Chain A
Amino acid sequence: MSKFLLVLTTVFLSLTAFAQDGEKLFNANCKSCHAPTDKRVVGPGLAGVEGRWKDRALLYKWIKNNKEVLASGDSYANELYNTYNKSVMTIFPALTDKDIDGILKYVAEYKAPPDATPVATEAVGAGNTDSTFSTYTLVGLGLLFLMLMFVLINVRKTLAKVDATQTGETLPTEFEGTLGQKVSNWISHNKKVVAVGSLVIIGYLSVLGWNTLSGIGIYEGYQPDQPIKFSHKLHAGKNAVSCIYCHGSAERGKAAGVPSANVCMNCHKYIQEGPVYGKVEIAKIYAALDYNPDKQTYGNNPKPIKWIKVHNLPDHVYFNHAQHVVVGKVECQKCHGPVQEMDTIRQYSQLTMGWCINCHRETKVSMEGNGYYKELHDKLAVKYKGQNLTVSKIGGLECSKCHY
């Protein structure tokens, strides 16, 4: 009786499985290599797969154990295998014919969801166009005003002349003499204008001089165009990829590191089209790797991507990312600013010595949860009782910490 019940349940279960589990089975077993559309993922897109295999029994056999079919010398199977870079399909001996029917049914009935509203397109990649606005516009406006002034003065002169000839008045005689005499005459008659004018010039030059001198060697605001229009706003902001995923060496060494292109390929093997620039920018990664996205093969002629370095410390300063990120537990954004909102990366901080020192003076050292230095930490707690234990108190201001 129990045996009968068991058989009954099994039959029942397998019947229901046919109807509802096609999608589930597809997602579990097929999705990471096949799309239900005609898009190639790792293997071919499955739309119309039933039509491509002349023998349905062979298709079952292929899905369950493709190696047997390949070994049997079936021409279509071997052609497939060679077209798709001889990448081997996993064998699925656990799938029953019913399961496969369910999967095929799901694929046949699959309709791509309507293109989701391209939310990403709004501001990503659109910034940074008005950066040179101020300088050029101001110069242009200045020239325009000068011309306007010149024209107005001439109009006024002519009007005065016309007025004088009509009323019969005599115009004040123009000053005769050399150019130098003319200039000094004009100056002596317009002392206030000259005074204010000189003030403007002196003021401008002082401000300009001050700004230039205090900006020497400071890259703050540096935002060069990069060879690939990579957007941190899209990757780190919208898609919320951790900084460390690409800049892992920030936790392991001195430099935060530029990810090698194989890290890009972890996602861009699949994502071949971006929301803003389409295929153009992503194709640059493929070009750098000499990768053929259609055949999914790599060539022998990779070329490095010439990223432009933004953050640069002078040669005589030692800075270590791992020290700050792992030990100090400093957030990336503390020094690099809201990178997740930047399309093109921009130097956010001054990276001057004063800036470093300020942070060392303000940042408190956490002494919890580090048993290795317990003895030292206890001593420090006694020594600086009642004071904030900042980085500066444990040698963060010593010259040789950074300069050696």
Chain B
Amino acid sequence: MKINKSYSLLVTGATLAVLAMSSCNRNPLSPGVEYMPDMYRGPALETYSQTKLNGKMIPTAFMPVTGSIARGFEPYQFANTPEGYEAAGASLKNPLTDVSNAETEGKELFIKYCIHCHGEKGDGVGSIKVKGEAFPVPSYYDDVHKLLPDGKMFHTLHFGKGLMGQHASQLSKTERWKLVAYVNKLQREGLGETGTTKDTTKIVVAIMPKAK
């Protein structure tokens, strides 16, 4: 009887020991064992890595050669100055003709790129809180911004203004115009058709049916 008891104790202990030893987690700081690392890390340069050039480690992401022009690049005719801002506001028109499509796609872009600062309705209360306070973002409906012409909105998206950074690196020209169209829609919905005295030649106002 005594032998049986110690035997069962030993077996239990052994099982526990195996379980304990094998339950060791992998080290999260190490990627783990690789079979043939050269299959994972080929000689071709990867983005965001380093390589040795003339005995010096350099990042593989080079700055483009000075004077390079990106494919599909379109020059922007206004300078990043207050004069440029005014000029853009006076002369730029939204080139997108399919307004309802621009607004639908603009809304998707707005949710991804704008909503966290400007808020769902564009009232300047976004999800980003700084020490409990919302980001100091002006509302689309205040006296200055409800009259903002399309060109100024586009200019601001291109270069940034005040605290807002430039978004030309994140959004293409077409996408920026889609956003402008959607912001107009927000303003129309927020203020009503008569609330804004924006230039009525703007396609958005001219084509869209009256918002509720």
Contacts and interface: CB of A to CB of B under 8 A. Distances in A.
Q: State yes or no: do A and B come from one complex.
A: yes
B14 A219 contact: no
A304 B116 contact: no
A128 B28 CA distance: 9
A132 to B, nearest CB: 7
A304 B57 CA distance: 12
A239 B116 contact: yes
Contact of A203 (B14, B29, B135): B14
B136 A28 contact: no
Interface in B48-68: 48-49, 59, 61
Contacts of B138: 27-28, 31-32
A200 B20 CA distance: 11
Nearest to B36: A217
Contact of B22 (A113, A211, A239): A211
A267 B135 CA distance: 9
Contact of A307 (B7, B48, B115, B131): B48
A267 B114 CA distance: 12
A88 B130 contact: no
Interface stretch (A1-9, A72-80, A164-172, A222-230): A222-230
Nearest to B33: A216
Interface stretch (A310-318, A355-363, A383-391, A393-401): A310-318
Contacts of B191: none
Interface string A62-96: 00000000000000000000000000101100000
B1 interface: no
Contact of A32 (B29, B44, B136): B136
User: Of residues B11, B23, B25, B161, which shows the largest number of chain A Cβ atoms within 10 Å of its Cβ?
Assistant: B25
Interface in A15-66: 24-25, 27-29, 31-33, 35, 41-42
B115 to A, nearest CB: 7
B96 interface: no
A204 B18 contact: yes
Contacts of B59: 304
A20 to B, nearest CB: 14
B10 A192 contact: yes
A199 interface: yes
Interface in B4-58: 7, 10-11, 14, 17-18, 20-35, 39-42, 44, 47-49
Interface of chain A, helix or strand or loop or mixed?
Answer: loop
Contacts of B161: 32
A218 interface: yes
Interface residues of A, number: 76
Given A24-B142, A42-B163, A116-B132, A222 B21 contact: no
B169 A262 contact: yes
B21 to A, nearest CB: 5
A30 B24 CA distance: 58
A242 interface: yes
A41 B48 contact: no
Given A33-B162, A196-B14, A217-B33, A222 B82 contact: no
5 contacts: A29-B144, A115-B131, A239-B129, A258-B48, A263-B165
Interface of B: 3, 7, 10-11, 14, 17-18, 20-35, 39-42, 44, 47-49, 59, 61, 81-82, 111-113, 115-117, 124, 127-133, 135-139, 142-145, 160-167, 169-170
Closest 5 CB pairs of A and B: A116-B132, A28-B142, A266-B165, A315-B42, A207-B22
Interface of A: 24-25, 27-29, 31-33, 35, 41-42, 88, 90-91, 113, 115-119, 128, 131-132, 134-135, 138, 192-193, 196-197, 199-200, 203-204, 207-208, 211-212, 215-219, 221-225, 238-242, 244-245, 248, 255, 258, 260, 262-263, 265-267, 269-271, 275, 304, 307, 309, 312, 314-316, 346
